[in-house]
Amino acid sequence: MTLPHCDTPPTPQEAADLRERYRVERERRIRPEGPGQYRSTTAEFGYFAADPYVPDTAEREPVHDVVDVAIVGGGFGGILAGARLRTQGVASVRVIDQGGDFGGTWYWNRYPGIHCDIESHVYLPLLDETGYVPEWKYAPGEEIRRHAVRIAEQFDLYESALFSTTVTGLTWDEPARQWRVTTDRGDVFRATYVITATGTLTEPKLPGIPGIEDYKGHTFHTSRWDYGYTGGHSGGGMTGLADKRVGVVGTGATGVQVIPKLAEDAGHLYVFQRTPSAVDVRGQRRMSPQEVGADRPGWAAERRENFLRIVSGESAGRDLVADRWTESAALLEKLLPSFRRDGEPDFESAYEAADHATMNQIRERVAKEVADATTADALQPWYRYACKRPTFSDTYLPTFNRDDVTLVDTADSHGIERMTERGVVVGGVEYEVDCLIFATGFSVGVSGITSGKLPVTGRDGVELLHTWADRGPRTLHGFTSIGFPNLIRMGSLQNASSVNFTNILDEQALHAAALVAAAQQKDALVEPTPEAEDAWMETCAQGAPDHEWFHAECTPGYYNREGRGRPNGPTAYPHGAVAFHDLLRRWREENIDEALRPKSGTPA
């Protein structure tokens, strides 16, 4: 791994001063409740309960049939699993989603300004297979949603899909060797295999502000945008806000995208900020098919792999994407356990110098682009690069030069003090707003499976969450577990991740489809041997890099559980996504029997 070059590394005194500044800024924002400062959205809260895109769910007869594979979740994870199963020749596949169509994240999140943060040509999956070439370097959300639909159409996933349907239970029937799938629409059907692709950013969260229920104005969460109220569409044009005082809470990745659009259309915009994002250069522009080499077969796979290697700290040759992710890739070392540091003496001091150089550049950009000195000061991010999700925008900072935009910094009061019927109180001042929009993100990693809303009951009536509570999760490669035959989980657990998540999901989908195909071919159950599961747990436990100290010093956020820390542990494969994908490919060729159990075999 090469760290970004630093022309003028900080002197020891400068480095010490900066560390002290970071500590002070962290203290201004830390709250004793930790992650408990948030609450989940509820049906009673504002506009939340509705699916804004399918307001009237059509009646339908409950389904009582049998399919080969049920896929829970119709985001890119579920879609890719479906596509890869179809390619393996599996005919009977049913996707079920709470939403009214495919798309997952991109179905639910349609706020103005929504864009991909990863280059479109590597984020949008199956470009080689569909022949689609994105127009912009960073695709708007609607283009991404349409691409999800395109894949689902091409791979015949609509045929038996169930939308506006929540899976409420998965129960293994040992004599039938099938899963019994129940839903909130009265369906009770059976599936030989179940793949769960329920996402990691699906449970919107709200700050637990005292008085939040008292507010009488209009309110909603960005993941359920109310265009009926604002007018317009994800490109803007929100005429309904022209005479409104609008407040937005949250300046993270969503806030950075939505705030410039709100500023264009609102009568007046109040931005309530706890911690400023580090806003790096976006560099949005049109890209021609020739520029990305889209006339060559396999161009997209090559570009995706090139990006993955660079952001994983592996050698890759030429940087094809060449954006701020790849240029700052070495600073992701504290987030992803993949970077090789062998033979790099004084790594931490070189890392800190590179970190300071990047963050100084980001802070200088604020000072250059924001005219008012007090506002510019409040927008300066005082923490290390990997403490918070990096963001990218060419329009966010200049937004604060508008007369109709007010930044309300809440750091001194550790967040918003309270809400009233009319608005928001910060530092004893009440800001009256007609509409308050929560850009406050999600309970990261929480899904129905982890929260218990979707109970999964395996062999002998054993519940998945009970086994996890007793011993912690135990898996082979993150996909399969003893006692839960023919259940394959996708997502982030005991596997490897990357900043381009669809790349990760596609490799998982290939693996899931290969497991199903192998089990069908060998007339076996998908279930790991005890030896294989034990060995994988050992692999995950060993070699996890120690980043605990780093995150303990970070400003509070979801990366460090709001300042509580980010414990090391056997939660991930310690050598990163490139090595993990190689390992999976080899394992499928040589050792796939470790995940197969004869149907007549007695479980251990």
Residues within the interface to ligand FAD (CB under 6 A):
72-78, 96-99, 104-105, 107, 109, 116-118, 123, 166-167, 197-199, 201-202, 254, 447-448, 454, 500-502, 505
If the CB atoms of residues 507 and 594 are measured against ligand FAD, the closer one turns out to be 507
Q: Whole-number minimum distance, CB 201 to ligand FAD, in Å?
A: 4
500 contacts: CB under 8 Å, gap ≥ 6:
118, 122, 123, 304, 307, 308, 311
Helices within 185-246 (DSSP H only): 227-230
Q: Whole-number minimum distance, CB 315 to ligand FAD, in Å?
A: 22
Please, which contacts does 136-139 make with residues 24 or more away whose CB atoms are closer than 8 Å?
Answer: 136/284, 136/285, 136/286, 136/287, 137/283, 137/284, 137/285, 137/286, 137/287, 137/323, 138/282, 138/284, 138/392, 139/115
Q: Whole-number minimum distance, CB 513 to ligand FAD, in Å?
A: 15
Whole-angstrom distance, CA of residue 91 vs CA of residue 69: 9
Whole-angstrom distance, CA of residue 128 vs CA of residue 147: 13
If the CB atoms of residues 167 and 308 are measured against ligand FAD, the closer one turns out to be 167
If the CB atoms of residues 116 and 426 are measured against ligand FAD, the closer one turns out to be 116
Q: Whole-number minimum distance, CB 394 to ligand FAD, in Å?
A: 16
Could you give the C-alpha distances from 18 to 11, 29, 321, 355, 400, in angstroms and in order?
A: 11, 17, 32, 11, 26
Strand, helix or coil for residue 591: coil
Q: Whole-number minimum distance, CB 119 to ligand FAD, in Å?
A: 9
Whole-angstrom distance, CA of residue 98 vs CA of residue 100: 7
Q: Whole-number minimum distance, CB 602 to ligand FAD, in Å?
A: 32
Whole-angstrom distance, CA of residue 61 vs CA of residue 137: 44
If the CB atoms of residues 138 and 385 are measured against ligand FAD, the closer one turns out to be 138
Strand, helix or coil for residue 184: coil
Q: CA torsion 73→75→80→81, rounded to 10°?
A: -10
Whole-angstrom distance, CA of residue 500 vs CA of residue 502: 6
Q: Whole-number minimum distance, CB 165 to ligand FAD, in Å?
A: 6
Q: Whole-number minimum distance, CB 224 to ligand FAD, in Å?
A: 12
If the CB atoms of residues 201 and 424 are measured against ligand FAD, the closer one turns out to be 201
DSSP 516-563: HHHHHHHTEEE---HHHHHHHHHHHHTT----HHHHHTSPSSGGGGGG
Question: On the CB side of 395, how many CA atoms lie within 13 Å of its CA?
Answer: 14
If the CB atoms of residues 501 and 550 are measured against ligand FAD, the closer one turns out to be 501
418 contacts: CB under 8 Å, gap ≥ 6:
209, 210, 211, 425
Whole-angstrom distance, CA of residue 385 vs CA of residue 355: 6
If the CB atoms of residues 154 and 539 are measured against ligand FAD, the closer one turns out to be 154
If the CB atoms of residues 314 and 323 are measured against ligand FAD, the closer one turns out to be 323
Q: Whole-number minimum distance, CB 558 to ligand FAD, in Å?
A: 12
Whether the CB-CB separation of 280 and 469 falls below 8 Å is answered with no
Residues in the chain: 604
If the CB atoms of residues 481 and 500 are measured against ligand FAD, the closer one turns out to be 500
Q: Whole-number minimum distance, CB 256 to ligand FAD, in Å?
A: 11
Query: Comparing C-alpha atoms, which of 564, 545, 480, 486 is closest to residue 519?
Result: 486
If the CB atoms of residues 157 and 524 are measured against ligand FAD, the closer one turns out to be 157
Q: Whole-number minimum distance, CB 522 to ligand FAD, in Å?
A: 28
If the CB atoms of residues 21 and 285 are measured against ligand FAD, the closer one turns out to be 285
Tally of CB atoms within 10 A around 219: 22
Q: Which strands sit side by side in the sheet containing 423-426, from one edge to the other?
A: 418-419, 423-426, 429-432
The residue with tokens 């803007």 is 236
If the CB atoms of residues 73 and 140 are measured against ligand FAD, the closer one turns out to be 73
54 contacts: CB under 8 Å, gap ≥ 6:
99, 100, 101, 163, 164
If the CB atoms of residues 407 and 454 are measured against ligand FAD, the closer one turns out to be 454
If the CB atoms of residues 197 and 572 are measured against ligand FAD, the closer one turns out to be 197
Whether the CB-CB separation of 578 and 507 falls below 8 Å is answered with no
The residue with tokens 């279930």 is 527
